[in-house]
Amino acid sequence: MTTTDATPVAPLGRRFIYKPRNWFLENTIRSPLRLVGLIFVVFIAYVALNNIVTGSYRIDQFARQTIFGLAQGSVYALIALGYTLVYGILLMINFAHGEVFMSGAYIGFFVITALQNSGFLYTNTGIALLITVFSGVLASVTIAVALERIAYRPLRNAPRLVPLITAIGASIALQQLFLRLFGVSTRRYPDVNFYVLPQLFPNLECHEVDGAEICRGLDLISGRYDVNVLGINLRILPIHFLVFFVALVMMAALWFYIQRTKMGKAMRAVAEDKSTAALMGVNVDRVIVTTFVLGAALAGAGGVLYALYNQQVTPFIGFIPGIKAFTAAVLGGIGNIPGAMFGGLFLGVVESVAPSMLGLSNQLKDVIAFSMLVLILIFRPTGILGEVLSHKKA
Amino acid sequence: MSLLRVNDIHTYYGRIHALKGVSLSVDEGEIVTLIGGNGAGKTTTLNTICGITPAASGSILLRDRDITRMRPYEIVQLGVVQSPEGRKIFTRLTVRENLEMGAFSRNDRDGVARDMEYVFERFPRLRERQKQLGGTLSGGEQQMLAIGRALMARPQILLLDEPSMGLAPLLVREIFDVITYLNRESGTTILLVEQNAQMALAIADRAYVLQSGYVTHADTAAALQNNETIKQAYLGG
């Protein structure tokens, strides 16, 4: 029997081959969702441009918001690294990571308050701040290690949904634990004046506090300075630069650790293939604990930095930054370390700049942050710096 | 005294009874091969020795020291090193980092540097590509890297799982040459798992035949090469 001409059949496999003529077709027409996304992006760009051209959005606003956004973004990046590190190794979203961040800020509060009461905060401000950061790191690390040991390790070989739900449970449990232990009231970080570089100020005033001589200089923590940069009048808060700088140093240290040390190499090996790494003599459990420790240390430091400029601490402050940082990690490409750094800074700047650039209420910044997540996922499901997931990771 | 002695091990994957009482021994300086069809339990045997899939019962002795319940990394530290099936090199680590991973449990920097030099001499291709990511190597190069990586651990006993899998015949020869060289010149004891039974028996001193989780034959390689049953089942008549 032969097939008749009346029923032509396209050769199998050829029917669905679609050759895009150009990028535009490939990325828009082919998928209606992408087309909607593109129209949305064009609309946003139009509104922003319009606000800039008509002068309702000014350059000094932009500069101020960018600086604030970089500080906020640094905190997001520090938290996002914890999500991405753990995901890279365990393929698990540690939703309790926001609470790890919160516990750093919260324990930091007790320490800095104690240092304030003893006067040490005024006599040796720099050291006192270091102690506060360090205790925040210690608290976060302790909680993360306990989480891994109690909640995640027993479920290592369970289906992937199980540790995810456990993580959400752990998140609520930690919030409630802090709530029961320390109450619902908002704790306030003390106002700290940390003077550096007195050389910057020609007419120095020195005065005595508790027997130590304090000379005024640039106040890194509580200072506000009106300066004129290139003809733009700006109010500058050095704390924002401090947060950004400390975060950059920590991220550089993390990068060095992962790329150059033996343990870092082992982490990359375990992330790629646990059982082969074990065959090389790597203690996989130890690598996993180390991953949690690194992520928690960054989050704990981030928590104290955040509390230093935000000042208010409650058991719930981990939730929104945690979700934002998770968003940042996905934006950058989850599992990708530079991606988390970039995603955090990007998200921080966009949510700080976008509301007023678009002429919207600042309260809509969360809407903007999460809309951006949706947009990025439409155009680049693997994140901005994300690699194509291998079938093993997908 | 055998270097490695496996006594009546049983291993399960969930409910599947993969090894049903496997016993074997490897003496110092020997090449012993483990042959058998798909699903016979060859890889499981190696993984059980390495602690990846621990035995439910039975014992594994390394120089009379019981390693049955040890963790994989502890077993590696004692000098039992496996080059796993399918090469399993780290594709996102450089060639050099892959070799360094092989030496992970060692602390003698000088010795590691010497062995790295030896591997590079043995496989000049790897020296040329030491800064490339492992994933960019060809199949043959990846196999060289996998063997080089196993050498970097300075094993007491090297467990090789299907080193010839998926390689062109010429490369298979080269890989087998290296295995023989390692054994004869460096005195490395080798437990070799192979589908290519003919090649394996040609270089091995002794062999075990596995079939659905049991050892069905154990003899010298020469004797098995002439065994009619083995010839028919594994050597193509």
- Give the ipTM of the model, two decimals please: 0.88
Which of B101, B94, B144 shows the shortest CA–CA distance to B122?
Answer: B144
Q: Do A280 and B153 make contact, defined as CB atoms within 8 angstroms?
A: yes
Model's pTM, two decimal places?
A: 0.85
Whose tokens are 């291998």? That residue is: A390
Of A268, A272, A280, the CB nearest to B102: A280
Mean pLDDT of A335-345: 91
Interface contact B153, partner A, CB < 8 A: yes
Residues A220 and A198: their CA atoms lie apart, in Å, by 12
CA distance A55 to A271: 50
8 Å CB contact of A280 and B93 = no
Residue B80 contacts A where some CB pair is shorter than 8 Å: no
Q: CA nearest B79: which of B197, B169, B190?
A: B190
Nearest to B73 among A268, A269, A283 (CB): A283
Instruction: Identify the residue whose tokens are 């015949």.
Output: B169
Percent of chain A topping pLDDT 90: 48
Residue B196 has a pLDDT of: 86
- On whether any CB of chain B is under 8 Å from the CB of A288, the answer is no
List the single residue in A272, A277, A284 with the smallest CB-CB distance to B91.
Answer: A272
- In this prediction, residue A9 carries a pLDDT of 47
A281: left (phi over 0), alpha (psi -120 to 50) or beta: left
CA A125, chain centre distance (Å)? 27
Backbone torsion region of residue A211, taken as left when φ is above 0, otherwise alpha when ψ lies between -120 and 50, otherwise beta: left
Partner B contacted by A267 (CB < 8 A): no
> What tokens does B152 get?
């970097």
pLDDT 10s digits, B49-61: 999 999 999 999 9
Q: How confident is the model over A1-10, as a mean pLDDT?
A: 45
What is Dmax (Cα atoms) for chain B?
51
Residue A243: the pLDDT is 92
pLDDT exceeds 60 at position A2: no
Chain B positions touching A265 (Cβ under 8 A) are: 93, 97, 100-101
For position B170, what pLDDT does the model report? Answer: 84
**Which of A276, A279, A288, A289 should be substituted to probe chain B, the one whose Cβ sees the most B Cβ atoms within 10 Å?**
A279
Q: What is the pLDDT of residues A162-214, one digit of tens each?
A: 999 999 999 999 999 999 999 888 898 888 888 777 666 665 666 665 555 66
Report the distance separating Cα A210 and Cα B2, nearest Å.
Answer: 76
pLDDT of res. A335: 85
Confidence tier at A299 by pLDDT (50, 70, 90): very high
Interface test with A, best of B101, B108, B154, B157 (most A CBs within 10 A): B101
Please tell me the total count of domains within chain B.
Answer: 1
Q: Which domain holds residue B36?
A: 4-234
Q: How far apart are CA B181 and CA B196, in angstroms?
A: 19
B100 interfacial to chain A (CB closer than 8 Å): yes
Q: Are A99 and A322 in contact (CB under 8 A)?
A: yes
Which of A265, A278, A280 is the closest to B52 by Cβ? A278
Q: Is B93's CB within 8 Å of A275's CB?
A: no
The predicted model gives A61-81 an average pLDDT of 92
User: CA B71 from chain center: how many Å?
Assistant: 18
Task: Look up tokens 């032509």; give the residue.
Answer: A8
User: Do A167 and A95 contact (CB within 8 A), yes or no?
Assistant: yes
Mean pLDDT by 10 residues, chain B (237 residues): 91 91 94 90 94 93 93 92 89 94 90 92 90 90 88 89 85 87 88 90 93 91 87 74
What contacts A256, CB < 8 A, 6 or more positions away?
none
Structural domains of chain A sorted by starting position, each given as residue range(s) with its CATH number in brackets: 42-379 (1.10.3470)
Helices A284-310 and A97-118, packing angle to 10 deg: 50
Block residue for tokens 């039992």:
B80
Question: Residue A257, Cβ neighbours under 10 Å: how many?
Answer: 14
pLDDT value for A357: 83
Produce one character per residue of A316-341: b if its CB has 16 or more CB atoms within 10 Å, e if not: ebbbebbbbbbbbbbbbbbbbbebbb
Strands B189-194 and B206-211 turn out to be unpaired
Contact A272 B52 (CB under 8 A): no
Residue of A280, A282, A284 to mutate, interface with B, max B Cβ within 10 Å: A280
Q: Inter-chain contact B101–A265, Cβ cutoff 8 Å? A: yes
Q: Which of B198, B180, B202 is nearest to B190 (CA)?
A: B180
When pLDDT is averaged across residues A234-254 and rounded to a whole number, the result is 91
Which CA distances in Å does A312 have to A67, A109, A241, A242, B57?
20, 9, 20, 18, 58
Q: Is the pLDDT reported for residue A29 higher than 60?
A: no
B-chain CB neighbours of A262 within 8 Å are: 100, 104
pLDDT tens digits along A362-386: 888 888 888 888 888 877 777 777 6
CB B58 within 8 A of CB B216: no
Residues of A in contact with B71 (CB under 8 A): 283
The whole-angstrom separation of Cα A84 and Cα A325 is 10
SS3 A227: strand
Scanning B55-74 for CB atoms below 8 A from A yields 71-73
Mean of pLDDT over chain A: 84
Q: Does A200 touch chain B (CB under 8 A)?
A: no
Residue B205's pLDDT is what?
Answer: 94
- The alpha carbon of residue B237 is apart from the nearest alpha carbon of chain A, in Å, by 36
Shortest alpha-carbon distance between residue A156 and chain B (Å)? 15
Can you read off the two tokens belonging to residue B122?
């043995």
Q: Give the pLDDT of residue A1.
A: 43
Q: Which chain B residues are Cβ-neighbours of A288 within 8 angstroms?
A: none
Interface size, chain A vs chain B, as Cβ–Cβ contacts under 8 Å: 63
Give the CA count within 13 Å in the CB-facing half-sphere of B191: 30
- pLDDT band with cut points at 50, 70 and 90 for residue A11: very low
| Short-list A161, A85, A147, A105, CA closest to A329 | A85
Report yes or no: B48 and B56 within 8 Å, Cβ to Cβ. no
| Contact with chain B for residue A265, Cβ under 8 A | yes
Mean pLDDT of A309-323: 91
Rg for chain A (alpha carbons), in Å? Answer: 25
